[in-house]
Amino acid sequence: MDITRFPRRHYTCGITPIEKLERFSQALGVAGLTVYIKRDDQLGLTGHGNKTRKLEFLVADALTQGADTLITCGGVQSNHCRLTLAAAVKEGLHCRLVLVESTAGAYRPDGGGNVLLYHLLGVEKIITVPWGTDLPEALKQAATEASAEGRKPYVIPLGGSNPLGVLGYIACAEEIVAHHLNIHHIVLPVGSAGTLAGLLLGLRGHGRSIPVTGMSVLNPRDRAEATAMSLVQATAAFLGIETPVSGNDVVCLDDYLGEGYTLPTDGMIEAVRLLARTEGILLDPTYTGKAMAGLIDLARQGHFKKGQNVLFLHTGGTPGLYARPEIFSRRKAGSSHPPAHS
């Protein structure tokens, strides 16, 4: 599966490591199970995270087209928006963001976490829209406005999840295959589903039948799986190949989503604390914390066999920790959920 023919920027020096989580694995209390972690929280650009891989292809295309302004969308505490802005800064481009508020007034210019970074990085304009807004249409309107001002905008969809962005995780799959580690299962968070789609295409394209379980943090299972499969098919068509991924390959559990996107769960809090206190590695409360909660629960249920190696894909997002410190400093397991801010 050749992706070298596509223009690509390079924002990371080398490849991200795979680490063995010895103390974390012991703390799980599941005999014979070893958990590894792929550190995509160490990818390049400000604050790091999985969207960097997608942006390497998307921004290269924007530059090829002569764009001078990147426009994208996400939640108020969007890691994708932060990284798109960072890529724009790196390339000397302007950047405008469409932020979705889950509740009225959720976006505050003086907010912490990613909001602080938007302004520190010099975002040109922030447009806020309510939850349920037609985001492709909102992005189109933002691009029309930029064009009217004499700009050459380039629109990047939610999460960078289109066939070009998916190439980033085909590249990640190639890194995993090249590591020659005997992995029996892979677990990762799923939002806009581009990461899962690319990983499956890359693994199956290299003849690897490793089961991959996505933990949905945004949508119900049926919608998450349909989105991922649609991206798989669209990307295969984009590459001009027959898809090596079957419908049975696409698994997105919604058991660990809780009450909704960005809303904390007790399992997420336990997972974030456990990895921090055993390995000194930070997860985030929206994506990786919930995905790791799923891995922990599946392990305790006996889903993984004795002697297996499970790889967790760390997609980054740790600036989100600093937007909601009260989740970890005040809330104890079993207490009520605080309101969402993004």
For domain 51-159, give the fold: Rossmann fold (3.40.50)
Task: Please tell me the distance from the alpha carbon of residue 267 to that of residue 290, in angstroms, as a whole number.
Answer: 7
Percent share of the chain, pLDDT over 70: 96
> For residue 329, what pLDDT is reported?
81
Cβ atoms 276, 157 nearer than 8 A: no
Q: What is the mean pLDDT of residues 5-14?
A: 97
Question: What's the pLDDT at 265?
Answer: 97
**Least confident segment among 13-22, 52-61, 147-156, 320-329:** 320-329
- Distance (Å, whole) CA 69 – CA 99: 17
User: How far apart are the two ends of the chain, measured CA to CA in Å?
Assistant: 38
**Nearest-angstrom CA–CA distance, 115 and 232:** 32
- Determine whether 336 is an active site residue: no
Predicted local distance difference test score (pLDDT) of residue 337:
37
Burial category of 303 from C-beta neighbours within 10 Å (exposed 0-12, middle 13-18, buried 19 and up): middle
How does pLDDT run across 65-106, given as a tens digit for each residue? Answer: 999 999 999 999 999 999 999 999 999 999 999 999 988 999
- The answer to whether residue 248 scores a pLDDT higher than 80 is yes
Side-chain-side CA neighbours of 207 within 13 Å: the count stands at: 1
Q: What is the residue-averaged pLDDT of the chain? A: 94
The residue behind tokens 């289109």 is 162
pLDDT tens column, 258-303: 999 999 999 999 999 999 999 999 999 999 999 999 999 999 999 9
Please indicate whether the domains covering 18-48+161-329 and 51-159 agree at the CATH topology level. yes
Whole-structure pTM value: 0.94
Handedness of CA 312, 317, 321, 327 (dihedral sign): negative
What are the strands of the beta sheet with 125-130, ordered from one edge? 125-130, 94-101, 69-75, 153-155
Q: Which CATH class is domain 18-48+161-329?
A: alpha beta
Exposure on the CB side of residue 305, measured as CA atoms within 13 A: 6
Taking the C-alpha atoms of residue 234 and residue 145, their distance in angstroms, rounded to an integer, is 29
pLDDT of residue 338 exceeding 70: no
Domain boundaries, the chain: 18-48+161-329, 51-159
**58 alpha carbon, distance to own chain's centre:** 15
Q: Active-site residue among 78, 161, 192, 216?
A: 78
Q: Quick: pLDDT tens for 27-47.
A: 998 999 999 999 999 999 999
Residue 254 pLDDT greater than 50, yes or no: yes
336 secondary structure, DSSP code: P
Give the largest CA-CA distance in the chain: 62
| β 309-314/34-39 pair status | parallel
Residue 342 has pLDDT above 70, yes or no: no
pLDDT at 340: 33
Per-residue pLDDT at 330: 61
Asked if residues 69 and 97 have their Cβ atoms less than 8 Å apart, the reply is no
Residue 316 to residue 43: CA distance in whole angstroms? 8
Question: Partners of 35 in the beta sheet?
Answer: 310
Please say whether the beta carbons of 336 and 95 come within 8 A.
no
